[in-house]
Amino acid sequence: MTIKQNNFLSKVGKLISEARERGICYVVCAGIKKIVYLAINYFGYCYYKILKSSRTFTFQGEVYNYFYHGYNATWRNERAVEVPIIWEIVEKNHGKRVLEVGNVLSHYFSVGHDILDKYEKANGLINKDVVDFQPSKKYDLIASISTLEHVGWDENSGNSKKILQAIENLENLLAPKGRMVITLPLGYNLNLDNLLREGKIIFTKRYCLKRISKDNKWIEVDCKDVQNARYNNPFPAANGLVIGVIENNSCWPTSAGSSSLRLSLSVTNKTDEGASEIY
- What is the full DSSP assignment across the chain? --HHHHHHHHHHHHHHHHHHHH-HHHHHHHHHHHHHHHHHHHHHHHHHHHHSTT-EEEETTEEEE----TGGGGGGSTHHHHHHHHHHHHHHTTTS-EEEESS-GGGTS---SEEE-SS---TTEE-S-TTT---SS-EEEEEEES-GGGTTTTS--S-TTHHHHHHHHHHHTEEEEEEEEEEEETTS-HHHHHHHHTT-S--SEEEEEEE-STT--EEEE-GGGTTT-BTTBSSSS-SEEEEEEEE---SSPPPTT-------TTS-B--SSGGGGG-
The pLDDT of residue 139 is above 70: yes
- Residue 261, pLDDT score: 41
In a domain, 48, yes or no: no
In a domain, 211, yes or no: yes
- Residue 106, pLDDT score: 97
- Residue 8, pLDDT score: 59
| CATH number of 236's domain | 3.40.50
Q: In the predicted model, what is the mean pLDDT of the chain?
A: 86
In a domain, 87, yes or no: yes
In a domain, 129, yes or no: yes
In a domain, 219, yes or no: yes
In a domain, 5, yes or no: no
In a domain, 31, yes or no: no
Express as a percent the part of the chain with pLDDT over 90.
66
Q: Which domain holds residue 197?
A: 54-272
- Residue 36, pLDDT score: 74
Least confident of 74-88, 124-138, 242-256: 242-256
In a domain, 151, yes or no: yes
pTM above 0.85, yes or no: no
Q: What is the mean pLDDT of residues 147-162?
A: 87
- Residue 272, pLDDT score: 38
- Residue 1, pLDDT score: 55
Task: Please give the tally of structural domains in the chain.
Answer: 1
